[in-house]
Every structure is written in C-alpha cells, then in structure tokens.
Structure 1
C-alpha cells in the first residue's frame, strides 16, 4: 500500500481496534518511555496535544511534565492564518473548547501564546510512521506548516501498530528524529 489516504485508513483501523484498556495501557507505557528520554533533561517548554480519533493519548505524559514544573503547551488553530497552529500555555483543569474539527483545545488567549522558536520539544500526533522516521499526519498539514522553520526537537507519539514499512514522502515532509511508542523509542537520523 503506497497511497497516503489508503495508509491513513489502514493506520486508523489499526489504532481504533485497540480496546479502551489497551489505549490506557499504551498511553501510560509511552509516557514512561518518553520520560526516559535524555533529550528532555534540559527542556523546560514542551508542546503536546490532546488525543483525538484513537491517537496515542499523551495525557499521562502531559500530567507528569506539568507535575515536574515544566511549561506545557497545547496547540490551538490559528484564528487568522488558515492551516497553522498556535501553541498556548496549558494549566491543569482549565476549560477546553472544541475547534472546528471537534478536537478539544484551550480557549484562545494571546497572553498565553508561546512562539514556536521558544519551544524546546514538540510532541506531535501522527497517523502512521515508517522505518525511516517519516510521519504521516491527518492530511491537513497543520504541523508541517506550523513547524516548517522550527529548529527544536520534534518527537512523534504513536501506537506500535501504526508503523508502516515505507510511507510515500512529499517534498514538505521532514523525517522525525524520534518516535516514542509504548514498546520503545525509535531513533532516526535527521
């Protein structure tokens, strides 16, 4: 299978086949894997996401990082630049709103927006990944556009079942250096 949309369907079926218990166990296992990354030692500002549509849930990682005093950010759809994301400081318990895709995000507050250049690590969701560290997203290009000039570390979070041997690569696709799954950390050359 080499068609991007076909691979997306396949990967979404893989992760949607996981039971709620398997999803919960995977989220906790991946958080433990991520917390062991040496690259996080000096990181103070980290962007995560809220899970949607069977994505690996980063909530246990988010809670651990926030509990350790790190600045945790969540993405918000940019209100004026279509197809881009802003990253906002997150505080536990704050109310979320659903964006136009039905994904929860913090209520936009420009005082809490952090420039992408000030983020140490971005944990990104993905639909599929391959043996070379390529990431296949939902197809909207939000992360690709928003992180196009980002020089920091981008780490993919995924279920092991989302790995595909080889993804079709577009000119805008940048391979990830790291992908964290419940079973381990996959490192790639960047």
Structure 2
C-alpha cells in the first residue's frame, strides 16, 4: 500500500525540481528554445496534416509554442486555446483563437478566451473534434512518458483517446532541461504520440 505514496512523492519532487529548472532560464534562453521548438514542430507530419490545432499560452516559464500560430494560419489552420469548463469536473473545452478574441484570466491566473455571456460568439470545440493538441509538460523521459502539473485537466479531457478512434494527435512540448532519465508513471497518464523539446523529438515506445 506504500507504493502509490512513494510514486506520488516522487512525482511531486520532480515537479518542484523541473519547474525550478525552466524558471532559471534567461529570457534569451527562453526565446532561443521557443524558436528551436517551433522549427521542430513545423517538420512533424502530424503538424503539417492538422487543420484544427489546439495549443496554449505559456505560463510559469513554460516553453512558448505561440510563434507557430502565424505559420499555422497561413496554411489555413484554425487555432484553439483551452478553456477550463466550470461544472465539468475540471475538464477542458477549446475555443477558436484569433487576434480579436477577448481574453480573461481563469482561476489559476492563466489567460484564456472569454466565453461568458456568449462573448464574441466563441466557437467552442470538444476535445474529440481537434486534429492535434500541443500540451505543456513539467517533465518527460526518453521513453515518452510525461509529467503534467498535477491537476489532471488534460488527462481527464483526453481519457477517451485510450478507446476512441478517430482521435486527436497529442504532442507534449517542453524545454529540454525538463528531461529526466525515467519518470514514475501513473495509471491515469494519457499516452502521447510524441514529445518535442527544443533539442529532440521523442516517440513513445510501442
């Protein structure tokens, strides 16, 4: 009965350490990592094929994938941002994002599209309707395992991908300094199709 406690303690320790690592990056290192990440993402077949792509606005020194937005729009791709769904057991919905999208801060202080009172008639998509999702990670390893923030928002929102087809491709993104040799894995962690950092692309083992 002690194994889950040990695993959870390990995951909490990894979160503290890896968040400190990315916070220690200078603005210049952050910018260079963002540019390198976006170059790698543009070469991925999953990104080149997608027509409805969700990504995120960086927070807490997360690697910045938003420079990809202009490139996606030039290709006719619709871009979406995650929105916390109240009364939905901490799940995510996704809202079409463009230059005129009104934004608000959610309860974590993260900017997201304003969907209150039908703001700008936001076009919301459920997770299953997306082609590709770029999600932030706290940590990853060479086996393609991931460590999130611990809230379980992405895990709950994309739990259906274990059994449903078609489904969106899920790609985690992170600074390469967030890589570790091996992460303790939880049963609820949703498998990813790939993890991309500023220095590498990791494909999970079959």
Q: Into which bin does the TM-score normalised by the smaller protein fall?
A: over 0.9
1:36-87 per-position Cα deviation (integer Å, ceiling 9, x unaligned): 0012232100110010001111111123212322011100000221311111
Q: Structure 2: how far apart are the matches of 1:92 and 1:36?
A: 25
CA contact (8 A) 1:132 1:175 kept: no
Q: The residue matched to 1:41 in structure 2 has which SS? A: helix
Q: Which runs of 5+ in 2 are unaligned?
A: 1-5, 162-166
Q: Which runs of 5+ in 1 are unaligned?
A: none
Tell me how many residue pairs correspond in the alignment: 190
**Alignment-derived partner of residue 26 in structure 1:** 33
1:86-114 per-position Cα deviation (integer Å, ceiling 9, x unaligned): 11111124232110000011111474101
Q: Structure 2: how far apart are the matches of 1:167 and 1:144?
A: 16
**Alignment-derived partner of residue 130 in structure 1:** 141
CA contact (8 A) 1:134 1:174 kept: no
Q: Structure 2: how far apart are the matches of 1:66 and 1:5?
A: 37
User: Which structure is larger by alpha-carbon Rg, 1 or 2?
Assistant: 2
Q: Structure 2: how far apart are the matches of 1:174 and 1:53?
A: 22
Output the TM-score relative to the length of structure 2. Answer: 0.87
Output the TM-score relative to the length of structure 1. Answer: 0.94
**Alignment-derived partner of residue 156 in structure 1:** 172
1:106-136 per-position Cα deviation (integer Å, ceiling 9, x unaligned): 1114741012121111100010011211111
Aligned: 1:97 with 2:108: no
Q: Structure 1: how far apart are the matches of 2:59 and 2:27?
A: 13
CA contact (8 A) 1:131 1:164 kept: yes
CA contact (8 A) 2:36 2:199 kept: yes
Structure showing the higher helix proportion among its residues: 2
CA RMSD of aligned residues (A): 1.6
Q: Structure 1: how far apart are the matches of 2:22 and 2:148?
A: 14
